[in-house]
Chains A and B, each alone.
Chain A
Amino acid sequence: MKLLTVNFLTCSNKSCSSTAEAFPLKIEDAKLAIQQMELKPEFLRNIIPRVDWNALLISTRQLGNNSLPEEKPELTEESDEVLLKSLHNVLLETEITEAKMTCGNCGHIYPVFEGIPNMLLSEEEI
């Protein structure tokens, strides 16, 4: 799954999802891969406003990447290509193939296996 996906995942347990601890899920034991994609500045300009930047910084740091700016960049038609490339590489080209993602509230571990996050809870947890 793309690193960006982590920004859209939270604990499946309803009593957790409203708490601050449940997001972002804490990523550990991650295996990463790079899957090249064509850079589409328009897509980045559209998606960045919808990204929770603080959560993204937490996730990228958990993966050992400190390359993103501290403040959410405001992308325009004139935005610097270096910045666009860096965002593109981190958000869209970085694939998490295996990982454990833990809810900071209930401690449930959601595994990522072969690039697919498993957000299912067991029957007792629902």
Chain B
Amino acid sequence: MIPTPDTSCLLEDVFQDVYEPAEDTFALLDALEEDKDKLCKFAAEKLLFTAEIGCGSGCVSSFFKSGILQNRPTIHFMTDISNAACNAATNVVNKNRELYNDKSGILLTAQTYFLQGLRIKKSIDVLLFNPPYVPTEFEEIPKEANIASAWAGGTDGMDVTNQLLNNLSDILSADGVFYMVAVARNKPEKIQTYMLRYGYDSKEVLRRKAGRETLCVLRFSKNSALFV
């Protein structure tokens, strides 16, 4: 078991502005841990460029870079539209590098929408996204970043996610892999079918009940011997 990143360096009131690690976060951590051997093999093949969109507290990025890919020479980008989240994540990942004894590779933070402004077209090898997946009215998706940006997902909870799905081929490297969290109301099977049109095969890596929600983690890839 890889320990969960320690977020105790964040003050309690930070979580008024930053999404606090919850069941969906832990589902993504568990799915990544499930794929640990594959991910480490991937990292042994080449220098990985990896990224998390909507890094929030930095819990997932820290777990992924320092817990799973520990000491591999990986470049990991973290983005969030919230400045509070970018600050929190930077603190958390740096603190946890020491805890995981992770001394190689780097984590870079940028405040942006998806990966805008980053020169990493078609070069991300592993992309992580725990989207704002709660079904809401489209108008409920905040125009300026606030805590609702972490969960308000519009129609079927998919309005934000769809923007990413439609651009995935422009972000991922040829053998890149994408992990995302979804809930039953997002219609995960439909997402899997939809992505076939872009040539992406997928696998449901994890499914579990969390209160009234059914959470799952989907993994997408194409031309990948490792992640078929």
Tell me the A residues contacting B by CB distance below 8 Å.
Answer: 1-2, 4-5, 7-12, 17, 23, 38, 40, 42-43, 46-47, 50, 92, 110, 113-121, 123
Quick check: B109 and A47 within 8 Å, CB to CB? Answer: no
CB distance from B102 to the nearest CB of A (A): 11
5 closest A-B pairs by beta carbon, nearest first, are A119-B117, A12-B117, A119-B112, A46-B47, A43-B73
In the docked arrangement, what's the CA distance between A59 and B118, Å? 16
Quick check: A40 and B47 within 8 Å, CB to CB? Answer: no
CB distance from A1 to the nearest CB of B (A): 7
- Of B11-19, B83-91, B196-204, B205-213, which stretch is located at the interface? B83-91
In the docked arrangement, what's the CA distance between A50 and B113, Å? 24
In the docked arrangement, what's the CA distance between A120 and B85, Å? 14
How many chain B residues touch A (CB < 8 A): the figure is 26
Quick check: A50 and B112 within 8 Å, CB to CB? Answer: no
Quick check: A10 and B119 within 8 Å, CB to CB? Answer: yes
Q: How many A-B residue pairs have CB under 8 A?
A: 79
In the docked arrangement, what's the CA distance between A50 and B106, Å? 14
Additional 5 contacts, C-beta under 8 A, given A9-B118, A50-B49? A9-B110, A40-B103, A42-B104, A43-B106, A116-B109
Q: Which residues of A contact B105 (CB under 8 A)?
A: 43
Q: Which residues of B contact A11 (CB under 8 A)?
A: 117
Of the candidates A4, A23, A47, A121, the one whose C-beta lies within 8 Å of that of B73 is A47
Which residue on chain A has the smallest CB distance to residue B103? A38
